[in-house]
Each structure stands twice: as structure tokens, then as C-alpha cells.
Amino acid sequence: MKLLPGMRRIPVGERARFNVAFFLQHYFPKSARIKGMRDRACDRIVENVRAKGAGKVVQVQRLKDISAEDFRTRYLANGIPVILEGAARDWPCTAQWSFERFKRQFGKETIKLVDRKGLTDDDFVRESEYSEEIEFGEFLDQVLAGGRKYMRFSPLLERFPELRADFDGKLFNRMMGGVFGVIHQMFIGGVGSVTPLHNAMTPFFFVNICGIKRWMFVPNHYLAVLNPAADGFGYNHSGANPEQWDPQAFPGLDCIDRMEAVMQPGDVLFNPSWMWHSVRNEEPTIGLRYGLYHPRSMMSESYTLFFVRLLAARNPSVLTGLYYSLIKTDLPQRDKELLITKMFRG
């Protein structure tokens, strides 16, 4: 993200030192020398942001209408989130999808919920991944009753392809000016459920179908303050929480600038490549993430994270994903769903 006017900047040299160490840690995770280089770079950056006082909170802009050309010039090219207010209000998904309809039509189907480290607020996910199978209707009942289960990054439209006709994906392709592929993922969660701070390489449009969602965004410019783990996943996650500042675990967190947004039913959010974000559901919600392969923005928004993802991600690697996408296309449906879920979280 090219920082908005007034947002504090970190010297390029300091960020470069941290980024180099972060990249190398993926290959040499036990190296004390590299860890020391990263820690020193992080300390200098924290000192820099603290010297400028408390960070500011900027509201994400809401637009009722914008041309594809203006969108690409103002938001895509600059890596800035934006909400297209009510853009999906008249789409069939917003008018027809509901907990009741899903339970009536698909309630007896068995679905898989997959939670991964850093992307869930459930304490039991201590390893890289936890999954369970559950009847869809039972899951929906638990969500409405205030349970903690949360369907994140689910390839549900692979399972129920008839739902794809209910939203206008071609609009998103036109807005981006050409893409090399898309991935659909569903989110269904109850009151108070959250997805912690994370980012991934694919830009996406998020259609909020029902309920209210509250978002927070942190530019990748502040990568060192968020201090993510170099664990080789296909996404990045941070334990930092700017809403509940922990000065010992994440010093300087209260001094970084960030953005916030609230989505109503029918709103569409654009989130750029590598933009850190966390989400809280204020009501039971259903949402659709329309992720896009857009190489130019995936690279330009963070050369460091792009090459980490390309060369160092191991769970799965990009080459593994390409193999199963382009060559071994006879992968069993459940395995295909799990691979999609792993590769394109964020």
C-alpha cells in the first residue's frame, strides 16, 4: 500500500534490513545470527514509530459508484481498501441466501471445517491445522446459538456449484482489468467470532451477504511491528492485536496507523494484496471472498512477501499448488477442497 497522506513512514533502509532477515529465516529458522539481525532491525523500527506518538485510525472510504478505470487508478494501483456501498444489494445471493435457506437446501450434507494456526481464535488449534466434519445444518444451528465454530476460507461453492450463479463475478474481473484465475471461499460465523490479523498474496473482493462485519487493516509497511512468524505457511499471521495492545509482546503497536471499516449486507469490500486485516462478526454473518490471481499487484505490493511465498512457502508450496491445479487434476474432491483452503487463505 502506498501510504495515505499523513500516515507515518518508516525509513526504507530499516525496512529493508528487517525484510532480508525475515526472508532468510524461512530457510534458516534456527540461525541465531539471522534472528539477531531481525531483532535489531525490529528494535530500530519500533523506536522510529514510537518517536512519532500514537497512531491514527482512518476510516475506509465508502463509494456508491465508481468506474472500473477509476477503481484501478485510485485503489488497485495504490493498494488501498475501499467499500463499494450496496454494490451487491440486488444480487440473488444477498436477496436469497440465508441460514434458513442453507439449512433447508443443504442441511443434511456433511461439510468440513478447517482451522489453521494464526487464523482462528480457538485455543485448541495449537499445531498447524485442525479439521472436523459436521452436518451443515448442525453447524448453522450452532452459529445462530452463539457457538464458537466459524467456517473460514471454505471452498463451499466447489461443493454446491449451483450457488455460483447468484453473484456477479464478471464485475470483479472487469474492475481488475483482467485476471489469471479466481478462487471462491465462503465465511459463515456467529456473533463475536473473529479472524485474527493476517495477510495473503491474492487481492480479493468480499461480498457481505448478511449480518454486520467489522474490519481492521494495517499496511504491510509496518511488517516489522507486526513481527509475524517465519513458519513457511502460504499466508502470514501475527499475534498482534491493535485493539488490545500488549507492549511487551508487540512494542510500538499503539504507534502504527491503521484503517477500519464496517460492512452492511450488500456491501462489497476490496482488499489489496498483502494488506493485513482482521475481522469481527457483530451479527451472524454469511460472506463470500472472491480472490483473484493478479500477478502485478501480488508482486508490487510487497516484493519481500511475494518472493517468500514463491520460494519459501512449504505448506503447501506454490509448485505443489500448480501441480495439482494444472497437471494432477484428478485429485479427489475432498483433497482438492483442502488444498484450495490451504493455498488461498487470507
- Who contacts 269 (Cβ-Cβ below 8 Å, separation ≥6)? 60, 81, 82, 83, 84, 205, 206, 208, 215, 261, 263
20 lies in a domain?
no
In a domain, 176, yes or no: yes
- Give the residues across from 133 on adjacent strands: 112
At 327 the pLDDT is: 54
Predicted pLDDT of residue 314: 59
Instruction: Give pLDDT, residue 39.
Output: 96
What is the pTM for the complete model shown? 0.90
Whether 320 maps to a domain, the answer reads yes
Give the per-residue SS3 of the chain.
CCCCCCCCCCCHHHHHHHHHHHHHHHHCCCCHHHHHHHHHHHHHHHHHHHCCCCCCEEECCEECCCCHHHHHHHHHCCCCCEEECCCCCCCHHHHHCCHHHHHHHHCCCEEEEEEECCCCCCCCCCCCEEEEEEEHHHHHHHHHCCCCCCEEEECHHHHCHHHHHHCCHHHHHHHHCCCCCEEEEEEEECCCCEEEEEECCCCEEEEEEECCEEEEEECHHHHHHHCCCCCCECCEECCCCCCCCCCCCCCCHHHCCEEEEEECCCCEEEECCCCEEEEEECCCEEEEEEEECCHHHHHHCCHHHHHHHHHCCCECCHHHHHHHHHHCCCCCHHHHHHHHHHHCCC
| In a domain? residue 247 | yes
Per-residue pLDDT in tens (0 to 9) along the chain, 346 residues: 667 777 889 999 999 999 999 999 988 999 999 999 999 999 999 999 999 999 999 999 999 999 999 999 999 999 999 999 999 999 999 999 999 999 999 999 999 998 877 777 765 445 566 778 999 999 999 999 998 899 999 989 988 999 999 999 889 999 998 777 788 899 999 999 999 999 988 899 999 999 999 999 999 999 999 999 888 777 899 999 877 888 888 999 999 999 999 999 999 999 999 999 999 999 999 999 998 888 888 888 888 888 888 777 655 555 555 555 555 555 555 555 455 544 544 4
Does the residue 116 lie in any domain? yes
What is the total count of domains within the chain?
Answer: 1
Q: What is the pLDDT of residue 319?
A: 57
Q: Does residue 299 belong to any structural domain of this protein?
A: yes
Strand 62-63 to 82-84 pairing: parallel
Longest dimension (CA), the chain: 58
Q: Which domain holds residue 159?
A: 54-343
CATH value at residue 143: 2.60.120.650
**Would you say residue 45 lies in a domain?**
no
pLDDT at 235: 84
Return the pLDDT at 98.
97
**Residue 43 placed within a domain:** no
What is the structure's pLDDT at 200?
A: 85
Question: Nearest-CA neighbor of 287 among 263, 311, 307?
Answer: 263
Residue 124 confidence (pLDDT): 47
